[in-house]
Amino acid sequence: MRESKFRFRNPVLESMEFIVNEDFNEEQYEGIRISGKTQIAKIRGKNEAGVKFHLKIGENHSTAPFSFDIIMKAEFQWEDSMEQEMVDRLLKSNAPSLLLSYIRPIVANVTGNSEYPAFHIPYMNMSENEADFEEVDE
């Protein structure tokens, strides 16, 4: 095994909001909805990008016990020898997967301290993840 040419540093929780739905009606429960979106800001002229993964769980409605809105971000770097197409695929799928691994214990901890059981985020197929790319100056 060897270290990847694609690296990250400094994963940070940017924002989080957890709300228990006071008007939750268990008879209307339709399951917990999960959606995610990735924002990728590639730094012009450098092999670096900032990636934010925004995850929404549940909704603020009587059909769900709670809503959870959380954003994690990190900085990613890669070596010159990597093809740009591969870099874009890694930024779109691997980067949010990595950030999701930091989100999982936060969600389980917070929901487990509510009146509901801990919610464990299932494995997610990030190949279909919605991602917005932009180039920015440093």
pLDDT digits (tens, 9 = 90+) for 18-35: 999 999 998 988 889 999
pLDDT in tens, 96-110: 999 999 999 999 999
CATH of the domain at 54: 3.10.420.10
How large is the average pLDDT for residues 49-74? 95
Into how many domains does the chain fold?
1
Domain with 38, as residue range(s), is 6-136
The pLDDT of residue 44: 94
The pLDDT value recorded for residue 120 is 97
What pLDDT was estimated at residue 116? 93
Domain membership of residue 55 (yes or no) is: yes
Q: How confident is the model at residue 60 (pLDDT cuts 50, 70, 90)?
A: confident
Residue 1 lies in a domain: no
According to the model, what pLDDT value does residue 134 have? 92
Asked, for residue 42, whether it belongs to a domain, the answer is: yes
Q: Is the pTM of this model over 0.75?
A: yes
66 close to 116: Cβ distance less than 8 angstroms: yes
